[in-house]
Amino acid sequence: MMTNNKIADLRKQRGWTQEHLAEVSQVNPRTIQRLEAGEDASLETLRMVANALGVQIGDLFESISDSNKGKEIEGFDKQKADQTHQWLVLHKFYRLCLIVGFVILMLILISLVSLTDNDRILDIAGIAWLILWPIGLGVIKVFQTVWIEPRLSRKYPLAESLNPAYNNDLKGTTKKHSGLWIAGIIILVILMIAVIWAGLNFYLFKLFGI
């Protein structure tokens, strides 16, 4: 039995009904009613409710009468905090790698284009190069959402993003952005090919007269 339950207070602070908390937590409304009445629940159920409220499991209660349950929750909260830290560290690392790689690629492209003395080619390639920046950064953002974040969440299932509802909405977000990701990749590749072709075409002409 859980004592000094704070779930109802946390729910009311957010202006939520029991039905809304149940929907966000992806549990049955009856489960929320039992929890607020002080009845026991599985650790997984408590995790889902805590995630929805944006708190640790231990924060749901003033005290827990079952010492074994209390130790179990304390260990779970520590494991969750560790996984959240690892999730955020790797997320930032992968984002940095993608951005650095993209910047290097853009510098290589502009170096190829700079080989030409043709003003027309320079103008066209310069415009394409500028357009590539927002498209490329957008593709990186969508790539994170569609590919990196789902894999990090599978590797660290207890982790949660800054948005408490992140894990609940992840599948919908992935589907929503998958089309944009594919379209962005296609546009990015086409523009890169155009810039490379412009520089390479002039370079070959300059060397071999073709």
Distance CA 136, CA 184 (A): 8
Is 55 found in the same domain as 89? no
Is 103 found in the same domain as 169? yes
pLDDT at 143: 86
Is 185 found in the same domain as 86? yes
Question: Considering just the CA atoms, what is the radius of gyration of the chain in Å?
Answer: 26
Ordered per-residue pLDDT tens for the chain, 210 residues: 455 678 999 999 999 999 999 999 999 999 999 998 888 888 889 888 988 888 888 888 876 666 676 777 788 788 888 888 898 899 999 999 999 998 888 888 777 777 767 677 677 777 777 888 888 888 888 888 888 888 888 888 877 644 433 444 444 444 445 565 566 667 667 766 666 666 556 555 555 554
The range of the structural domain enclosing residue 198 comes to 79-208
pLDDT at 169: 43
Which of 18, 35, 65 corresponds to the end of one domain?
65
Is 203 found in the same domain as 142? yes
pLDDT at 135: 83
pLDDT at 161: 46
User: Which whole-number Å values give the CA distances from 79 to 52, 57, 75, 188, in the listed order?
Assistant: 18, 12, 6, 40
The answer to whether residue 70 is domain-embedded is no
Is 113 found in the same domain as 202? yes
Is 138 found in the same domain as 102? yes
The model's pTM is 0.60
| Whether 43 contacts 49, CB under 8 Å | no
User: Which whole-number Å values give the CA distances from 39 to 5, 32, 42, in the listed order?
Assistant: 9, 10, 10
Is 89 found in the same domain as 48? no
Give the single-character DSSP code of 163: S
How would you write 43-112 as a 3-class SS string?
A: HHHHHHHHHHHCCCHHHHEEEECCHHHHHHHHHHHHHHHHHHHHHHHHHHHHHHHHHHHHHHHHHHHHHH
Is 160 found in the same domain as 85? yes
The answer to whether residue 73 is domain-embedded is no
The answer to whether residue 72 is domain-embedded is no
Is 130 found in the same domain as 88? yes
| Whether 73 contacts 43, CB under 8 Å | yes
Q: Is 158 exposed, middle or buried (0-12, 13-18, 19+ CB in 10 A)?
A: middle
Q: Which residues, including other chains, have CB under 8 Å from residue 80's CB and lie 6 or more apart?
A: 47, 56, 57, 158, 159, 160
Distance CA 79, CA 133 (A): 39
Q: Could you give the 3-state DSSP secondary structure of residue 139?
A: helix
